[in-house]
Amino acid sequence: MLVELSDDIIAKIFGFLEVNEVLQCSLVCKSWCRVARADQIWHTLCERYFSPNTLKSLITKLEENAISVSKSYCSESVSLGSEDLGFTLANRETQRGEVGDTSGSSESSTASDSPTALCGTKACCCQARKALANLIEEYGNSKSSSCSKYLLFKAFFRHFSRGSYYVSRIAKLLDNLETFCRRANLPAARTLLPGVDGICIERQTGTELPGDIYCLYRLCSGQYIPSDYSQFQGILGGYLFYDVLVDWNLYSICSGTVTSLGDRRILKIGQDLFWHNNRGSQGLFVDLETKHVIEKTQNHYVIASKDTVTYLEKYVNDLCSNHLMIDRNTKQILRFSLSATYSGHSDVVTGYIRIQATCLFVPGISRFSDNEEQDEFVFAYRIRISMLSSAPSHYIYRLEQRHWIVTDTDGHVENIRGPGVIGEHPMFRPGSVFDYASCAPLRGPVGKMKGSFTFRPLHYESDAQAAAPFSAQVGELQLNFFECYRFPPEAPERYLQLQERWEEGNNILC
Measured CA to CA, the distance from residue 221 to residue 293 in angstroms comes to 18
- DSSP letters of 229-259? --S---TT-EEEETTEEEEEEE--GGG--EE
Secondary structure class of 11 (helix, strand, coil): helix
List the beta strands (DSSP E) in 314-361. Answer: 324-326, 333-337, 345-350, 353-361
φ, ψ of residue 171 in degrees (nearest 5): -60, -40
Is the separation of the CB atoms in 437 and 382 below 8 Å? yes
pTM: 0.80
Q: What is the mean predicted confidence (pLDDT) over 275-286?
A: 70
Please name the residues in contact with 61: beta carbons below 8 A apart, sequence gap of 6 or more: 171, 174, 194, 195, 219, 220
pLDDT (0 to 100) of residue 93 = 34
Measure CA 164 to chain center: 19
Q: What is the mean predicted confidence (pLDDT) over 145-172?
A: 79
Measured CA to CA, the distance from residue 116 to residue 291 in angstroms comes to 28
Per DSSP bridges, beta strands 397-407 and 446-457 are: antiparallel
User: Does the 340-503 domain belong in CATH 2.60.40.1470?
Assistant: yes
Q: How confident is the model at residue 337 (pLDDT cuts 50, 70, 90)?
A: confident
* DSSP-derived secondary structure letter, 339: -
Q: How confident is the model at residue 166 (pLDDT cuts 50, 70, 90)?
A: confident
Measured CA to CA, the distance from residue 309 to residue 223 in angstroms comes to 17
Secondary structure class of 398 (helix, strand, coil): strand
Secondary structure class of 336 (helix, strand, coil): strand
Going from the C-alpha of 318 to that of each of 267, 306, 373, the distances in angstroms are 25, 17, 36
Q: How confident is the model at residue 132 (pLDDT cuts 50, 70, 90)?
A: confident
Say yes or no to pLDDT of 125 above 80. Answer: no
| Helix, strand, coil percentages, rounded to 5, for the chain | 30, 30, 40
Q: How confident is the model at residue 2 (pLDDT cuts 50, 70, 90)?
A: very low
Question: How many CB atoms sit inside 10 A of residue 506's CB?
Answer: 9
Measured CA to CA, the distance from residue 52 to residue 59 in angstroms comes to 11
Q: How confident is the model at residue 121 (pLDDT cuts 50, 70, 90)?
A: very low
Please name the residues in contact with 464: beta carbons below 8 A apart, sequence gap of 6 or more: none
Q: How confident is the model at residue 462 (pLDDT cuts 50, 70, 90)?
A: low
Q: What is the mean predicted confidence (pLDDT) over 426-448?
A: 93
Roughly what angle, to the nearest 10 degrees, separates helices 123-142 and 55-68? 160
pLDDT (0 to 100) of residue 509 = 64
Q: How confident is the model at residue 117 (pLDDT cuts 50, 70, 90)?
A: very low
User: Tell me: the pLDDT tens digits for 377-407?
Assistant: 999 999 999 999 999 998 999 999 999 999 9
Degrees, nearest 5: CA angle 287-288-290: 65
pLDDT (0 to 100) of residue 120 = 42
- DSSP letters of 463-507? TS-BPPPEEEEEEEEEEEGGGT-B--TTS-HHHHHHHHHHHTT--
List the beta strands (DSSP E) in 370-419. Answer: 377-387, 397-407, 413-419
Degrees, nearest 5: CA angle 309-310-314: 115
Domain boundaries, the chain: 1-36, 340-503
pLDDT (0 to 100) of residue 342 = 75
Q: What is the mean pLDDT of the chain?
A: 79
Going from the C-alpha of 161 to that of each of 124, 135, 166, 288, the distances in angstroms are 17, 17, 11, 18
What's the chain's length in residues? 510
